[in-house]
Amino acid sequence: MPSDSTSGTTSRPGFFARLKDRLGVGKDSAKSAASKLGGALDWLVGRKLDDAMLEELETSLLAADVGLDAAEDIIRRIRKKAANRSVASVEDARAILRESICEILEPRARPLVIPDTPRPFLILMVGVNGSGKTTTIGKLARRLRDQGLKVMLAAGDTYRAAAIEQLQVWGERNDVPVIAQQAGADPAAVIYDAFEAARARGIDVLLADTAGRLQNKAHLMQELQKVVRIARRLDPTAPHEVMIVLDASLGQNAVAQALQFHAAIGLTGITMTKLDAGGKGGVLVALAEQLDVPVRFIGIGEQAADMDVFDAGEFAAALLGSAGQPPERR
Ligand X SMILES: Nc1nc2c(ncn2[C@@H]2O[C@H](COP(=O)(O)OP(=O)(O)OP(=O)(O)O)[C@@H](O)[C@H]2O)c(=O)[nH]1
Residue 163 is a binding residue for ligand X (CB under 6 A): yes
Q: Are 287 and 70 contacting, i.e. CB atoms less than 8 angstroms apart?
A: no
Residue 32 or 131: the one with the smaller Cβ distance to ligand X is 131
Of 204, 214, 298, nearest to 248 by C-alpha is: 298
Nearer to ligand X, 70 or 300 (CB): 300
Of the two residues 144 and 272, which places its CB atom closer to ligand X in the complex? 272
301 counts as binding ligand X under rule CB under 6 A: yes
User: What is the rounded distance in angstroms from the CA atom of residue 291 to the CA atom of residue 159?
Assistant: 29
Q: Which helix (H) or strand (E) holds 17?
A: helix 15-22
* Residue nearer to Mg ion on the CB measure, 97 or 124: 124
The residue (of 75 and 283) whose beta carbon lies closer to ligand X is 283
Binding partner of residue 300 among Mg ion, ligand X, none, CB under 5 to 8 Å per kind?
Answer: ligand X
Q: Would you count residue 134 as binding Mg ion (CB under 5 A)?
A: yes
Q: Quick one: which segment of 115-123, 125-133, 233-241, 298-306 binds Mg ion (CB under 5 A)?
A: 125-133
Q: Is 131 in the site for ligand X (CB under 6 A)?
A: yes
* CA dist list (Å): 195 to 54, 148, 187, 188, 227: 53, 20, 12, 10, 11
The correct pick among 16, 100, 149, 157 for binding ligand X (CB under 6 A) is 157
Q: CA 108 to CA 292: how far, in whole Å?
A: 7
Rounded least distance, CB 6 to Mg ion, Å: 22
299 binds, among Mg ion, ligand X, none (CB under 5 to 8 A by kind): ligand X
73 binds, among ligand X, Mg ion, none (CB under 5 to 8 A by kind): none
Q: Which is nearer to Mg ion, 23 or 155 (CB)?
A: 155
Q: Which CB sits closer to ligand X, 57 or 295?
A: 295
Q: How far apart are CA 189 and CA 185, in angstroms?
A: 8
Contact 170, 125 (CB under 8 A): no
Applying CB under 5 A, which part among 55-63, 132-140, 184-192, 314-322 lies near Mg ion? Answer: 132-140
The number of beta carbons lying within 10 Å of the beta carbon of residue 162 is: 10
What is the Cα gyration radius of the chain? 21
299, exposed or middle or buried, with CB in 10 Å at 0-12, 13-18, 19+?
buried
CA distance 122 to 118: 9
By CB under 5 A, which span of 47-55, 118-126, 129-137, 298-306 interacts with Mg ion?
129-137
Q: Is 295 helix (H, G, I), strand (E, B) or coil?
A: strand
Report what 273 binds from Mg ion, ligand X, none; CB cut-off 5-8 Å by kind: ligand X
- Footprint (CB under 6 A) of ligand X, residues 272-291: 273-274, 276-277
Picked from ligand X, Mg ion, none, the partner binding residue 129 (CB below 5 to 8 A depending on kind) is ligand X
Contact between residue 242 and residue 121 where contact means Cβ atoms under 8 Å apart: no
Q: Which is closer to ligand X, CB of 111 or CB of 127?
A: 127
Interface with ligand X, residue 296, by CB under 6 A: no
Q: Is 174 among the residues that bind ligand X (CB under 6 A)?
A: no
- Cα separation, 22 vs 24, in Å, equals 6
The closest of 114, 103, 100 to 58, measured between CA atoms, is 100
Residue 329 has, within 13 A of its CA and on its CB side, a CA count of 6
- Identity of the amino acid at 264: A
Site residues for Mg ion per CB under 5 A = 133-134
Binding site for ligand X (CB under 6 A): 127, 129-135, 157, 163, 212, 245, 273-274, 276-277, 299-302, 306
